[in-house]
Amino acid sequence: MQTLYGIKNCDTVKKARQWLDKSGIVYRFHDFRVDGLTQAQLIDFTARKDWGLLLNRSSTSWRQLSAEQQADLTLEKAIALMLSAPTLIKRPLLDTGDQLIIGFKADHYQTELL
């Protein structure tokens, strides 16, 4: 089963969920704040997608980090930051089993899922 990761009050996540529901695509919703996030999940995500694509550097959470936290990023440091603040992960994140789709664009979902 496909899993959509995100935060329930995120507008982009809401749009993705509406699109999936309207398209009749069965998925499980995983809310980072409610369901949590494990290091193993992040290691899996970063093995399948470049961690630089997963890290949301335009988020409010990123801007709230200190310059020291933002500097000299490595995979390990990025994983630790995303574990401590899951809102640093670009959302939504759709795991189809075969692929990991970052963000939501209706035409991209249409192409990849239907």
Active site residues: 10
- The dihedral through the CA atoms of 94, 99, 103, 17 has a sign that is negative
Residue type, 62: W
**The total number of structural domains that make up the chain:** 1
Residue 63: its pLDDT value, please?
96
Residue 42: its pLDDT value, please?
96
Structure tokens at 23: 């398209």
Residue 54: its pLDDT value, please?
97
Domain range for residue 54? 2-113
CB 112 within 8 A of CB 101: yes
Per-residue pLDDT of the chain (114 residues; tens, 9 = 90+): 999 999 999 999 999 999 999 999 999 999 999 999 999 999 999 999 999 999 999 999 999 999 999 999 999 999 999 999 999 999 999 999 999 999 999 999 999 999
CATH number at residue 71: 3.40.30.10
Residue 76: its pLDDT value, please?
96
